Amino acid sequence: MSPSLMRIRRNEQTSDPHTRILRLDLPTWTHFKPGQWMSVKHHGIARSYSLLTREADAICVDQVSEGVLSPILCQSKEGDVFEVAGPYGAFTLPEPMPRNLLLIGCYTGMTPIHCLSQHLRHTDTSFTAKILDFHEHNTWPIEDLITENILGDPRFSYVRHTHHCEQIQPLLSDRPYVMAAGRTHFVKSVQALLKSAGYVRSQYALERFG
């Protein structure tokens, strides 16, 4: 897909001083599916960012100390323009949509999980979705967005856990469709657990970062 331009509409501080939510004016991506990501490019440097919202108009950026593009994005101002391409990725809800979902995110993996839950919140479909927010040393600072999104909707439940994949095992007894996103070592641990529980590839979706 050919590159387009995104314009910074608003740069929002989060509870983490190193993390920003960027509200964006983006091309109209009629083919966007919640859970997908886009490539952001600036002066020849490209990085991938999952879309935070079902409208595909926001990303969450962690300013990495040794990063090249993330500091530029975190310090961006209203009106700044960056080149983008996308959307990409297969971390999307299958069709037909499962009625029983287990959505698992760790750190940056909570960004596509939020996007998916926001999309689900606005459907009339009958389903149940358990959201597990795993954290290691840091917490991805969008917990308030997630809990606000699902507030009052009995189809959702939300739990935060420390980084121990064994806590997932009891939730697999009713064979939910599993979607897990996060750093590579975390996602590999989840995949190993799913395989040991008898899951086959068509029963889960994974998204890895770094």
Report which secondary-structure segment, H or E, holds 85.
strand 81-88
Please give the average per-residue pLDDT across 186-191, as a whole number.
Answer: 94
pLDDT at 1 (0 to 100): 46
Distances (CA, A) of 205 to 5, 14, 188: 29, 28, 12
Q: Class of 100-209 per CATH?
A: alpha beta
Comparing 4-88 with 100-209, is the CATH topology the same? no
- Residues 67-96: tens digit of each pLDDT: 889 999 999 999 999 999 999 999 999 999
pLDDT at 163 (0 to 100): 63
pLDDT band at 97 (very low <50, low <70, confident <90, very high): very high
Q: Is 113 helix (H, G, I), strand (E, B) or coil?
A: helix
Whether pTM > 0.75 for this model: the answer is yes
Query: What percent of the chain is modeled with pLDDT above 70?
Result: 95
Domain range list for the chain: 4-88, 100-209
Please give the average per-residue pLDDT across 198-210, as a whole number.
Answer: 95
Q: Evaluate whether the domain defined by 4-88 bears CATH number 3.30.360.10.
A: no
